[in-house]
Structure 1
Amino acid sequence: MRVLSFSEKGCIRKNNEDSFLVLPDHGIFAVADGMGGHRAGEVASSTALRELEKLAPQLKGLSDQDLEGWLVESFTQANRVVYKSSTTEPQNAGMGTTLTALLIRDTRALIAHAGDSRAYLWRQEELTPLTKDHSLVGELVRLGQISLEEAEKHPQRHVLMRAVGADQEIEVDCQAISLRSKDVFLLCTDGFSNMISDEELADEFSESGSWEERLERLRQLILERGAPDNFTALCCIME
């Protein structure tokens, strides 16, 4: 497996509140997009990923049946730590973070998710979204109250319905996938997915060239489009 990634502050933001985690020895990969003033977003995203990293050594002793439980507990622990910091440290008041994690072991992959950072699977020339945005606009689209086109310009498109550290308790979406040769997983924050449509992403992934070249073209495209937000992408390529 190869892992490629980039994380940039973009053209407007003064600092990067995105974070990403690559732990190939444990099969854990994750992206997080923090929110909150006075750099608290950076604190939230990095804190959440640090909790996953602390718990990662537990994976070596777990059976395949226990992997989902580990993911849920890791998110719960990250939520606990971020929420405590946001409610006890004035400089971190109101902070929170999205968190999307991929766990790979042998022939299985598991995705855990809270917020609007996304996971995609590229398999046999087809792109499949693996997550649903836990956002107000995402919910309105699922309910049929607004279209995808309206969602892109909706004034409340950044309002999250679920995030790590936002409340005392967190609900985590999890799913398991059987791995196949040549599968490619993409984890990305909304600064990436808001600037590149799923159709454009599939078209680029279909292009010739190396995965390094494909990701570099996507990175440059976001910058050319003004990159108003931090943007992060992490690709896990099954060989």
Structure 2
Amino acid sequence: MRVLSFSEKGCIRKNNEDSFLVLSDHGIFAVADGMGGHRSGEIASATALRELEKLAPRLKGLTDQDLEGWLVESFAQANRVVYESSTTEPENAGMGTTLTALLVRETSALIAHAGDSRAYLWRGEELKVLTKDHSLVGELVRLGQISLEEAEKHPQRNILMRAIGADQQIEVDCQKIALQSGDVILLCTDGFSNVISDQELASEFSQPGTWEECLERLRLLILERGAPDNFTALCCIME
């Protein structure tokens, strides 16, 4: 498996509140998009990923049946630490973060998710979104109250319904997928997915050339479009 990534603050934000994690030895990969005043957003995202990293050594003795439990507990631990910091340290009040994680074991993978960062699967020239956005706008789309086109320009599209550190408990979406040779799993923050549509992403993935060239084209495209938010992408290529 090959892993490619980039993370940038974009053209408007003063600092990068996104974080990403690559622990190839443990098969753990994750992205997080922090929120909060001053520098609290970057503290929240980095804290959540640090908790995953601390718990990663426990994976060595686990069977495949135990992996989802490890992910749920890791998210719960990250939530506890971020929530405690946000409620006890005034400078971090209100901070939180999205968290989308991928756990790869041989021919299968688990996705765990909270927030509006995303995981995509590219397989056989088709792109599939593996996660659902835990946002107000995402919920309105699922309820049929607004269209996808309306969601892209909705003034409240940044309001999250679920995030690490937002409450004492966190609900985690988990799913397992069987991997195939040639699969590509992309994890990204909304600074990426809000600027490049799913159709454009599929088109770029279909172009000839290396994956390094593809990711660089996408990075430059976001910058050309003004990169209004921090943006992060982490690409796992199954070879």
State the TM-score, normalized to the length of structure 1.
1.00
Match of residue 22 from structure 1? 22
CA distance in 1, matches of 2:93, 2:128: 36
How many Å separate the matches in 2 of 1:107 and 1:236?
13
Q: CA deviation at 1:24?
A: 0.2
1:237 equivalent in alignment to 2:237: yes
- 1: CA distance, partners of 2:155 / 2:238: 38
Q: Structure 1 residue 73 and structure 2 residue 58: aligned?
A: no
Per-residue CA deviation, residues 177-222 of structure 1 (Å, 9 max, x unaligned), is 0010000000000000000000000000000000000000000000
Partner of 2:218: 218
1:148 counterpart letter in structure 2: L
Give, in whole Å, the separation in 2 of the partners of 1:67 and 1:117.
Answer: 21
Q: Which position in structure 1 is the counterpart of 2:52?
A: 52
Q: Aligned equivalents of 1:36 and 1:124: distance in 2?
A: 39
Instruction: Letter of the 2:165 partner, please give it.
Output: G
**Which residue of structure 2 lines up, in the alignment, with residue 158 of structure 1?**
158
State the match for 1:32 in structure 2: 32
Question: 2:172 maps to what in 1?
Answer: 172
Letter in 2 for 1:133: D
Structure 2 CA distance for aligned equivalents of residues 176 and 68 of structure 1: 9
Whole-Å Cα distance in 2 between the matches of residues 178 and 36 of structure 1? 36
- Is the partner of 1:6 in helix, strand or coil? strand
Question: Structure 2: any 5+ residue segments left out of the alignment?
Answer: none
> 1:146 matched to which residue of 2?
146
Residue pairs, 1:104-143, within 5 angstroms: 104-143=104-143
Shift of residue 108, structure 1, vs aligned partner = 0.8
> Which whole-Å CA distance do the structure 1 matches of 2:179 and 2:103 have between them?
11
Q: Deviations over 1:47-70 (max 9, x none)?
A: 000000000000000000000000
Unaligned runs of 5+ in 1: none
Quick check: 1:197 aligned with 2:197? yes
Deviations 1:61-88 (A, max 9, x none): 0000000000000000000000000000
Structure 1 match to 2:43:
43
Number of residue pairs matched?
239
Letter paired with 1:193: S
> How far has the Cα of 1:228 moved from its partner?
0.4
In structure 1, what residue type is equivalent to 2:177? I
Aligned counterparts of 1:118 and 1:178: Cα–Cα separation in 2: 18
| C-alpha distance in structure 1 between counterparts of 2:179 and 2:138, whole Å | 28
Identity of aligned residues (%): 87
- 1:101, 1:202 → 2: CA distance? 21
- Structure 1 letter corresponding to 2:80: R
- The aligned amino acid for 1:181 is S
Q: How far off is 1:106 after superposition? A: 1.1
SS in 1 for 2:177: strand
Inter-partner Cα distance in structure 1 for 2:152 and 2:238? 32
Matches of 1:3 and 1:94 in 2, distance apart? Answer: 33
